[in-house]
Structure 1
């Protein structure tokens, strides 16, 4: 395993290249989700802001959102969201626009690295044309909005001692028209966090970075469309991309998501569970559509008694389980033609 120091955006970080899958980029400046370290503000970004942000694509009729299921109820096969059915789907005219360096919500400031939020805040029906850097210690709520990352290596970053992040019915993406390609060498998801905030991420359109989501303990990941991952590897080789990558945490619910990642060697899987510090438990993978990766749609390494039910595997790949991870339940997991997927 080779390792190199990368200096970009004023940060010195460690990037690791592993034949199978190394921990996603983590170091003093950009810790893995759940790691505790003092707050460090990013250095100024060199990204440009000349051209307008891209508007969401709308083609044809929008599929209806999934029917709600009672908490703790396993959604049936096929209950996952469809592409284009989640994210912000309303008219752009209904959004309050906050362009980088211009208007801003009360209690926030525009910095070179994005919209800085120092306290707890609720953002609803906004279009933030810039990254969000949150330093609050309670809850950040984003609903019915568009967030265009462009200022640093994240779309939304929780940099303080946060308790909870709630993001629903929103579109989170990297703004290539304004900022160009996503910075090389950062193996991160659009929502990134320092510390252990519980994440409630539901019915969002998430795209444009090397990873989709990195849920922490007690998080809910429900009904998101995760797609369009980008390879941004530098001189040390390619990043290893994943749709949903749990790097540690028990009692996580992953359900009704549509996760599609490339079927290339630089991908581990649509869902990957790997905790390098300890084993986890209480993780449920229910009713998702998962597709992509060179060999496995789902890979479990460290979750004990993983509960996997009613998922649809979108290609001919299987799942893989390696010790100390174990499968506690494997029920009615099928391919798109209805044939059964064997338990690993």
Structure 2
């Protein structure tokens, strides 16, 4: 079970993904739309009670977790099939220290069948729950593919709640501030991945404002040049926004707000033995809302002399990398920040994308990772983030001794890998600890040392593994803990 004790994951990170739903793959849907309801945060009812919401869906999919407003204490989260007397499908618990919105991921996402009634609920041992009156007043309401009828909020007091879901309709069509996270099934058709040389900054170098230690210029909301790069703090809210800039050096953030970079080139300068990145976020504590968003930009390091930073970045290029710091990527963060990365180029680092938070989206990027001794050099390295979408990327690694172009390590769930091109590494795909992984319509480009893929069935699982092919069109399927083709 993963717990994020903040509204942010439920309605910022995951629903930022939903904001791109027309152009991108399926993202989690909730009964709250894009914003939480205006809740009364503490009921005067002090009785022990089970509180929930009925729903069904218009198409098949999965339920990786729930979102609920919970008061301090240990709460049991339940998912039921709401037919007949009700069948308990999944249960987990969460220990809440501070009242607020909680995202609670199930140990394994549930498969959801369209048209079947379900229910999510939680137990409030001391009552005093959050609620919104007249929320479920309409006869039938659609929230994306989620369907609720009038009085979908339900409750059952402890004396008659043993082993059964709450079934008593709420007073005044009340919403008890709990919702499923529903992920509609992804399309089974192959999704095209981006081609080399088509992403990243594509404009004229003359359209960019150059900032470098040599010219001494710094953009707004940055402080000064240090030996390791450009020190920035952001505005009064800790936010940093850069557009059409060419920065010859890494960006080192001390603020804790949003970092947004568009149509730009960040050309990190490697320093021998120094852990460095194109964007390094040194915020000690994530504020629960901030994201790192990079789009239509090029983040590179160790460019060969004379190579323009907006040129096609060849995977075969021998580069100096990050100066001997063997396990960093173009963006370095603490693992809490959702990363929203679209149409970028990342090249020359011994990692591709690493340190992402829950709800990240990595879509339509060219990712080139380079051999640097015993470096990890994974293209997308997920160290425990859930609800991550990786789609349409071109990912290539030159180091066959590395783990994989895409590697899931540490417990996570509800991740999707759709329509990517994957080349190189020890294995093309490695899944050690992600449960319920959707891995569909990817192209395995070869270049591996040991095989197309491996996973650990004791700690990893797939909700779907289909439509994956080798570069010659041969189907790739799971066979035990490896792939066959």
Question: Is residue 370–residue 399 contact of structure 2 (8 Å, CA) maintained in 1?
Answer: no
Answering whether residue 424 of structure 2 is matched by residue 292 of structure 1, we say yes
Q: Which of the pair has more CA radius of gyration?
A: 2
Question: Is residue 198–residue 216 contact of structure 1 (8 Å, CA) maintained in 2?
Answer: yes
Aligned position for 2:212? 99
Answering whether residue 370 of structure 2 is matched by residue 229 of structure 1, we say yes
Question: Is residue 321–residue 350 contact of structure 2 (8 Å, CA) maintained in 1?
Answer: no
Q: Distance in 2 between matches of 1:135 and 1:75?
A: 43
Shift of 1:121: 1.4
Aligned position for 2:243? 124
Shift of 1:255: 0.7
Aligned position for 1:37? none
Per the alignment, do residues 126 and 74 of structure 1 end up closer, same or farther by CA in structure 2, a change over 3 Å counting?
A: farther
Give SS of 2:201's match: coil
Aligned position for 1:243? 379
Per the alignment, do residues 157 and 286 of structure 1 end up closer, same or farther by CA in structure 2, a change over 3 Å counting?
A: same
Q: Distance in 2 between matches of 1:74 and 1:263?
A: 32
**Aligned partner (choices 263, 274, 292) of residue 144 of structure 1:** 263
Shift of 1:176: 4.1
Answering whether residue 174 of structure 2 is matched by residue 84 of structure 1, we say no
Alignment of 1:38-187 (within 5 A): 68-69=23-24, 71-72=26-27, 74=187, 76-100=189-213, 102-109=216-223, 110-119=225-234, 120-150=239-269, 153-160=276-283, 161-162=285-286, 163-176=290-303, 181-187=321-327
Aligned position for 2:473? 338
CA RMSD of aligned residues (A): 2.3
Question: Is residue 288–residue 310 contact of structure 1 (8 Å, CA) maintained in 2?
Answer: yes
Greater shift after overlay, 215-224 or 312-321? 312-321
Q: What's the TM-score, normalizing by structure 1?
A: 0.73
Per the alignment, do residues 195 and 136 of structure 1 end up closer, same or farther by CA in structure 2, a change over 3 Å counting?
A: farther
Aligned position for 1:258? 394
Per the alignment, do residues 76 and 86 of structure 1 end up closer, same or farther by CA in structure 2, a change over 3 Å counting?
A: farther
Instruction: Please list every run of at least 4 consecutive aligned residues from structure 1 whose deviation after the TM superposition is greater than 3 angstroms.
Output: 67-76, 175-181
Question: Is residue 191–residue 418 contact of structure 2 (8 Å, CA) maintained in 1?
Answer: no
Shift of 1:112: 2.1
Aligned position for 2:459? 324
Give SS of 1:211's match: coil
Q: Distance in 1 between matches of 2:452 and 2:429?
A: 7
Q: Distance in 2 between matches of 1:271 and 1:252?
A: 12
Per the alignment, do residues 180 and 244 of structure 1 end up closer, same or farther by CA in structure 2, a change over 3 Å counting?
A: closer
Q: Distance in 2 between matches of 1:326 and 1:180?
A: 37
Structure 2: where are the runs of 5+ without partners?
5-21, 28-185, 306-318
Give SS of 2:477's match: coil
Shift of 1:131: 0.6
Q: Distance in 2 between matches of 1:192 and 1:284?
A: 22
Question: Is residue 321–residue 348 contact of structure 2 (8 Å, CA) maintained in 1?
Answer: no
